Structure formats: structure tokens, C-alpha cells
Structure 1
Amino acid sequence: MNQKIDRQVTKKILFLDIETVSCKESYAALPEAMQLLWAKKSRALHARSAETIDPACSFFDEAAVYAEFGKVIVIALGFLSYNQQGELVLRIKGLQSHNEKELLENFKNILIERFPEQDLRLCAHNGKEFDFPYLCRRMVINNISIPEVLNMGGKKPWEVPHLDTMEMWKFGDRKNFTSLHLMATIFGLVSSKEIMEGSEVNS
């Protein structure tokens, strides 16, 4: 690929990763209706378990990964650009707040103001299964209109401008799951997961 094409492709990819926590600090802090709904979901999640799972424990351990019971507290963004010397560099920006509505609106404004190209592509690891739909659901819950690059309603698969590194790494293998930390380690890259695993964020 020549440098001209490379520049056109790389500058239109926005890499992102989100971190999520449970919507409340504990099961007891949930409204009663939500407690009942989480207990029902928890039973379904652990239907095959021989043990009886306490919904209070499962809420703290598992709620963060479900958009109905969690919230976004961090959105990390990365994009490639060329400096004055013509060298390709990665620029990174981190957004963080426990005010989720403010965080999501800030993220949306960055998408609209900094990356206005219609052919912008979003890239995340397991993004199609987690990051992208989670962001959309939380935007709807917070009464924020979904930006076009995230809104996949009615689009055909080949019209979806999303890249998923986990999907790429599968090479068609449907049963394979490879964590971002493992992929980074394989390729000798420093991973944020060396500092904290996603499962530790809620704590």
C-alpha cells in the first residue's frame, strides 16, 4: 500500500475502549423494581449453576457489563496522524467522569467536531459485541441522540463503519475468544490491562 492511500485510510479510523461500572454502588442501592429485575436476570445468568447465587453478590461482580444495569465512566480514544516530519504518530485522549450523561455528551461532541468525515470508522476490541452497542444503549437511556457513526439501525452489514480487532483475529473461527491483553502480549505491546483488568474496575 503506498503512502498516499495509507494516509487516507489511517486518518479516518478512531480507536476506542470503554470502561464500565455498575449503575449503583450496591444491589441494596437499586430501586426495588430494579432489584427484582436484576434478581431475575441473575437467576437466568446462573441457571446452570449448582449453587444458589446471591443477587447482591452477582450485581457487584457482573452488572457493569450490562448496559441496563451499568454505566460508562471512561472512554479512551486514539487516532493516527502525521507530524510535521511526516511520521505516523498515535494520539490518545482519555475521557472520564462519574457523570455519565456529561461524559457521553462530551464524547459525542468530539465525534461531531473533530471527526466530521462521513467515512469515519470506529475500531475497538470486541467492539461490535460490547463497546458500540453499550454506548448506544447508554445514550438512549440518557436521552442523547446517537451520532451517525454509531447508529446502525437499518444499515446492511457492509454499510456498518465498524472495525473489530477481535473479529479480525478470529479469521472465521466462531468459537475463538482472544482478550486484548493477550493480543498485546503476543505482539510485544504494552497493555493497560497490566495495570488493571476490566473485572477490577468496579472495585
Structure 2
Amino acid sequence: MLPTIALDQLLLLDIETTPATAALEQLPADMQRLWIEKMAKTAPESENEAEAYEDRAGIYAEFGKIICISAAFFSLENNAYHLRMKSFYNDDEAIVLNGFLGLVNKFYSKYPAFQFAGHNIKEFDIPFICRRSVIHQLSLPKPLQLYGFKPWEMPMLDTLHLWRFGDIRHYTSLKLLTAVLGIETPKDDIDGSMVGKVYWKDHNLERIAAYCQKDVIAVAQLLLRFKRIPLLKEEQVILVK
């Protein structure tokens, strides 16, 4: 499987997002009204708007922000693949985005035909990064200038889509996919639904970054499994500061 994909030309990534503010009432008044309007259209039978904001605003680029992006790439050393990974995390979203976009530019200069890789990045991570970059008026690197691309032209290797095998309706979480393919992952003390609370209540960015990095490693292991290559050992994952 994946015979034409060169692992060293993939930039793996995962993002962690939260609501833009700790509570709905902290948003500007016009944004509060727009959130209530959105909930009335998308979840009319849901809990009250304030609770919905705390639980779900982080999945919408218009009402959330990125607090961490972890990125990694494969390198072949002594006939074995290693994974080099770096995380960008900060309260200031522009700092996070600038760090990641700079990495994209560097990777593009070395591998002009590279692809992004991740789980559900076509529908979530990449669009979220692009939208938030536009909001901050940041220049998008050429690999993220995706206007007019047909779905099959996107420079992305999405493990969700690999597992779909053409079934556009099927969704499988990263946690489930690693489990079914026999890939052991560390037990986490948080999951994606808890990131907003960990950030706004505990302000523990390092804990969130560690969680984000584990998802990137999981994607790397999936790609190796798809290609029937031995999985990474702990010492083969290098965290770059």
C-alpha cells in the first residue's frame, strides 16, 4: 500500500484549538449574537448557547483559535526511519501560526512536491490553519494556497481518507484506527474534548502540546503500517526545540 509515497517528503501535522475566549460573554457583543444565530441554525435542540460555546466553539475557525501546532517529518538514518518533531504553542495565535508557516516555507524550499499528512486534515486542520491565517492577515505559503484545487489535487495525505477507500460517508477516529491496526499509543490524561478546559482553566500549554505530539506520532505509525514498514520505537522520535 502507498507504493508511490516518499515518507521523507511528507510534513505531518496536528493542531489543537480552543474557543477564542473562556466564555461566551467575553466575546464582543456582535460575535455573541452571531454565535447564538449559528447555534439556532446548526443545533437548535442543543444545550444553551453559553454551554455550547465552551464545548464546541473551538471547532469553528470563526469562533476558535489555534494554541498548538505539532509538525514532524521522517528521516532515514542507519537504514531505519526516525521522526523529527517540533511544536509551536503560545497564547498568541499569530506566534503559533508564524512559526508553523515559516516551517512550511523551509520544507517547501527543500521538497517542492511535498505533501501534508495527518488525520482528517482535509476537513479540519488545514482549512482551520488557512482561515485563521487570513484572519491574522498572514501570508500563506504556496503549498497552502489551495483556492481552485480539485479535491484529488490537494497536496495532502489524509489517513482518514486512506482508510475510507473511497467511502465518503465513513468516519473513523485516529484513536480507533490505531487500535484496529494494532498500534499501541500512550494512555493520555486528556482527549480532544478536554483541550479547551485544560487551556482556559489550567493554562497548561505544555500538557496540550504533549497531547498534540502523540497524535502526530500516531499518524506516523499509521503511515508506516500502511506501507508495511516496522513501526517507530520511542528512541526513533526526536523532539526538536
Same fold, judged at TM 0.5 (above): yes
Shift of 1:32: 0.2
* Structure 2 CA distance for aligned equivalents of residues 82 and 175 of structure 1: 36
The amino acid across from 1:196 in the alignment is: I
Shift of 1:14: 0.7
| Structure 1 residues 27 and 95, CA gap change in structure 2 (3 angstroms) | same
Instruction: Tell me whether 1:71 sits opposite 2:65 in the alignment.
Output: yes
Larger relative contact order (CA 8 Å, sep ≥ 6): 2
| Structure 1 residues 193 and 127, CA gap change in structure 2 (3 angstroms) | farther
8 Å contact from structure 1 (residues 71, 138) kept in 2: yes
Instruction: Tell me whether 1:10 sits opposite 2:3 in the alignment.
Output: no
After TM superposition, list the pairs within 5 Å mapping 1:47-126 onto structure 2: 47=44, 49=45, 53-83=47-77, 85-116=78-109, 117-126=111-120
Shift of 1:190: 3.8
Q: 1:162 aligns with which of 151, 156, 159?
A: 156
Shift of 1:187: 2.3
* Structure 2 CA distance for aligned equivalents of residues 29 and 191 of structure 1: 37
* Structure 1 CA distance for aligned equivalents of residues 180 and 94 of structure 2: 36
Shift of 1:192: 6.1
* Structure 2 CA distance for aligned equivalents of residues 157 and 165 of structure 1: 15
- Local SS of the residue matching 1:88: strand
Runs of 4+ in 1 over 6 A off after TM superposition: none
Structure with greater helix share of residues: 2
CA RMSD of aligned residues (A): 1.9
* Structure 1 CA distance for aligned equivalents of residues 135 and 94 of structure 2: 9
Shift of 1:195: 3.2
TM-score by length of structure 1 reads 0.89
| Structure 1 residues 110 and 192, CA gap change in structure 2 (3 angstroms) | farther
TM-score by length of structure 2 reads 0.76
8 Å contact from structure 1 (residues 181, 193) kept in 2: no
| Structure 1 residues 184 and 153, CA gap change in structure 2 (3 angstroms) | same
Alignment size in residue pairs:
195
8 Å contact from structure 1 (residues 125, 166) kept in 2: yes
The amino acid across from 1:146 in the alignment is: L
* Structure 2 CA distance for aligned equivalents of residues 192 and 67 of structure 1: 29
Instruction: Tell me whether 1:42 sits opposite 2:39 in the alignment.
Output: yes
8 Å contact from structure 2 (residues 73, 83) kept in 1: yes
Q: Gapped runs of 5+ residues in structure 2?
A: 198-241
Q: Gapped runs of 5+ residues in structure 1?
A: none
